[in-house]
Amino acid sequence: MNKNQLSVRLNGKPVGILEQTPNGNMAFSYDASATQMISVAMPLREEPYGDIQTEAYFGGLLPESETVKKIIGKRYGISPNNNFSLLKAIGYDCAGAISCNEINKPIVTQGPHLLTGRIITDDELYQHIVELPQKPLFMDDIEGLRLSLAGVQDKAAVCLIDNQIALAENGCPTTHILKPPSHHFEGLVENEYFCLRMAKRIGLPVPDIQLRQVKDITYLLIERYDRRIKDKHVERVHQEDFCQALGTLTSKKYQNEGGPGFKECFELLKSTTQPAIDRNYLASALVFNYLIGNMDAHGKNFSLLHYTQSNIRLAPFYDMICTRVYPTLTSKMAMKIGSQYDADNLFARHWEQLCKDINYRYIAMKDIIKNHAEFILKIADEEKEILISTGQYRPIIDNIINVTKNNIKRTLDRFDNG
């Protein structure tokens, strides 16, 4: 067995070999029998892909937190800076339908997997959440669990069985993402819940979400959009984020650090099955993010779903959070609008410039801004009242509403005044 090679499988079917080269870099080669690409940036071909393209895709499957990587490295006796070793340790259940396996691991029969898992008690769940910073991804809570979730925030992948939290067993794909409260940003789970609720009402595709309580901990439960669940069976759906699809390293996810901007994102949507519809959704999402004060909408917060080789669509939106309610966070946008990064200095001319950059009708963009602004003003207070009635209201909701209303007023005034 070659310890420097992993069998990369898509929905359980081998599609290629991930290799750590003698100089410590990674390379990827498709199998001759592969019929579906793993990334728009890595179309099917005979020649191997080198380090930069391979690192952009496979490195993008791993947690971003250096602390989390160090804990995983210590747990498995590997370097936290060696992405190949990390994937070997935790790459069995990644985002989408990709899995990284030992070369000699038996090939599992294709098709939906029976939803199986160990339902845990409230006491167990509470303890798992409390220990999440020390045990990332609920590591060690179930023997043989090897899963990877990209991103910075603490989170864990779980199953929901009979409306109860369960830890996946027997190779079952996880069905939900659990996000605990943040130790750094007060009310973060309520923030994301509130913003995603508004996004859904405005017509944006977003995952199903729940605010749940276990003892004194409120957590967010998000149904995975990269899973199909039917008749107690789970099937993976392949996905990749925009950084992966554009061959951009995770470390360069912000536009001012070399990451994608809206021009590249809209250009990417030419590769989807219904580009006109997906472009309209992305335009709607970028306006919504701006109006609610989400300054952190970078390339890893947008994704593509690969249903088949010839059926690729923009994925539902996620990680929609009002970052402006936290004074320590920047007012600089992750992707600039026109030539402007600073949200407070954005004028109509910058929106017009953006439309030229992305080849989008300016009059259509103005309509989206006006319609979103009017509807958000209507639904924000309604959503607040719902939270009050369910006992889930937190003071941060008022802060979000104030930020949003101020953004809307400033934006509309600047359009009115040219």
Three-state SS for 396? helix
Q: Are residues 89 and 124 in the same domain?
A: no
Residue 205 maps to a domain: yes
Establish if 140 belongs to a structural domain. yes
293 and 412 in a common domain: yes
Is 308 domain-assigned? yes
Residue 34 pLDDT class (50, 70, 90 cuts): very high
Do residues 178 and 88 both lie within one domain? no
Statement to judge: residues 226 and 245 lie in one domain:
no
Element (H or E) spanning 381, and its range?
helix 362-389
Helix (H) or strand (E) holding 349: helix 348-358
Share of the chain above pLDDT 90, in %: 77
Residue 215 shares a structural domain with residue 333: no
Task: For residues 262 and 218, state if they share a domain.
Answer: no
Domain end, chosen from 230, 265, 288, is at 230
Catalytic status, residue 367: no
> What is the per-residue pLDDT across 180-197, written as a single tens digit (0 to 9) for each?
998 889 999 999 999 999
Of 173, 201, 230, the position where a domain reaches its end is 230
Q: Does 145 score more than 60 pLDDT?
A: no
pLDDT in tens, 46-58: 999 999 999 999 9
The tally of domains found in the chain comes to 3
pLDDT at residue 194 in the model: 98
Domain boundary pick from 70, 102, 134: 102
pLDDT interval class at 152 (50, 70, 90) = very low
Residues 301 and 411 in one domain: yes
Among 150-164, 222-236, 341-355, 373-387, the minimum mean pLDDT is found in 150-164
Could you tell me which residues are beta bridge partners of residue 305? 239, 313
CA 311 to CA 71: how far, in whole Å?
38
Residue 137: per-residue pLDDT:
57
With cut-offs at 50, 70 and 90, classify the pLDDT of residue 209.
very high
Residues 193 and 305 both lie in one domain: no
pLDDT class of 413 with cuts at 50, 70, 90: very high
Residue 398 lies in a domain: yes
Same domain, 347 and 395: yes
Q: Are residues 32 and 88 in the same domain?
A: yes
Q: Is residue 108 part of a domain?
A: no
Query: What is the C-alpha separation between 38 and 17, in angstroms, rounded?
Result: 12
Query: Does the residue 285 lie in any domain?
Result: yes
User: Is 18 in the same domain as 164?
Assistant: no
pLDDT in tens, 356-389: 999 999 999 999 999 999 999 999 999 999 999 9
Whether residue 92 is found in the same domain as residue 182: no
pLDDT score recorded for residue 342: 95
The pLDDT value given to residue 150: 53
296, 319, 342, 416: which is the annotated catalytic residue? Answer: 296
Which structural domain, as residue segments, surrounds residue 279?
A: 238-416
Q: What integer best gives the mean pLDDT of the chain?
A: 91
